[in-house]
Amino acid sequence: AQEVTGMVFQPFSEVQGELSTVTQAPVTDSYARVEYHIECEAAINEQINIEYTISYVYHALHSYFARDNVGLPGFAKFFKEASDEEREHAHMLMDYQTKRGGRVELKPLAAPEMEFANDDKGEALYAMELALSLEKLNFQKLQALQAIADKHKDAALCDFVEGGLLSEQVDAVKEHAVYVSQLRRVGKGVGVYLLDQELGEEEA
């Protein structure tokens, strides 16, 4: 038979290297893993812990504002939704880790503070400034994760972080910054009550 010329991609010969890694892999290894550096895997696990930790803090804030002697249910609702969102981010990262053939390693979570009263600023401003700081810190952590992905030329991980997490984090920083500005403007009086009403009426 006449040999076919001009062929560039020869799958049956080129796939042999990958095929050997699949056929020789022990059952404890992932068959899906490809071009996934161990530093990327470790960084994903670290970010999972960060997201869960921030969720834990927000849940503590929710519990505080839900108290009858604090009486700010709108803020309680806001921080409950924020806690749920951070936990969902952790789930996204866990799903991605599994998809890439990595192994999820859950780490201990630091116990958050449970008291947020502040005589100088009031608990609402104090809590929102804390939340804004956490959102900014999380943005920096996500940038560090993206840098590790870029270092190892992991285009898939870069796309996941930039498209699925970083862009949303920018919005979260802006949202919290606006609330901090509003709380600084209204002080500790009736303005806090009005903002609490607004937060309670907003849809998730």
Which residues carry a binding-site annotation? 51, 86, 89, 135, 169
- Is the confidence at residue 170, as pLDDT, over 90? yes
The CATH superfamily of 34-201 is Ferritin, core subunit, four-helix bundle (1.20.1260.10)
Q: Is there a contact between 56 and 28 (Cβ–Cβ < 8 Å)? A: no
Lowest mean pLDDT among 103-107, 108-112, 179-183, 200-204: 200-204
- pLDDT value for 6: 58
Which residues carry a binding-site annotation for Fe cation? 51, 86, 89, 135, 169
pLDDT, tens digit, for every residue of 102-119? 999 999 999 999 999 999
Q: What is the 3-state secondary structure (H, E, C) of the chain?
A: CCCCCCCCCCHHHHCHHHHHHHHHCCCCCCCCCCCCCHHHHHHHHHHHHHHHHHHHHHHHHHHHHCCCCCCCHHHHHHHHHHHHHHHHHHHHHHHHHHHCCCCCCCCCCCCCCCCCCCCCCCHHHHHHHHHHHHHHHHHHHHHHHHHHHHHCCCHHHHHHHHHHHHHHHHHHHHHHHHHHHHHHHHCCCHHHHHHHHHHHHCCC
The more confidently predicted of residues 10 and 16 is 16
Report the chain's mean pLDDT, rounded to a whole number. 90
pLDDT, tens digit, for every residue of 53-64? 999 999 999 999
Q: Is there a contact between 78 and 127 (Cβ–Cβ < 8 Å)? A: no
- Is the confidence at residue 2, as pLDDT, over 60? no
Could you tell me the residue ranges of all domains in the chain?
34-201
Q: What pTM, to 2 d.p., does this model score?
A: 0.84
